[in-house]
Amino acid sequence: MFELSQSFYFEAAHTLRRPAVGQAEAKGSRRIHGHTYTAEVTVRGARDAATGMVVDLGVLRAAIAAVREQLDHHFLDEVPGVGTPTLENLCVFIHAQISQRVPQVHSVSVQRKSSGDRCVYTPSQA
pLDDT tens, position by position, 15-58 = 887 665 555 555 556 678 889 999 999 999 999 999 999 999 99
Provide the domain limits for residue 16.
2-121
- Number of domains present in the structure of the chain: 1
pLDDT tens, position by position, 88-100 = 999 999 999 999 9
pLDDT tens, position by position, 49-88 = 999 999 999 999 999 999 999 999 999 999 999 999 999 9
Are the C-beta atoms of residues 36 and 114 closer than 8 Å to each other?
Answer: yes
Torsion-angle region of 52 (φ positive above 0: left; ψ -120 to 50: alpha; else: beta): left
The answer to whether residue 98 is domain-embedded is: yes
pLDDT at position 126 over 50: no
Quick one: which of 58, 96, 62 has its CA closest to 79? 96
The answer to whether residue 126 is domain-embedded is: no
DSSP structure string for 55-95 = S-HHHHHHHHHHHHHHHTTSBGGGSTTT-S--HHHHHHHHH
Assign residue 55 the CATH number of its domain: 3.30.479.10
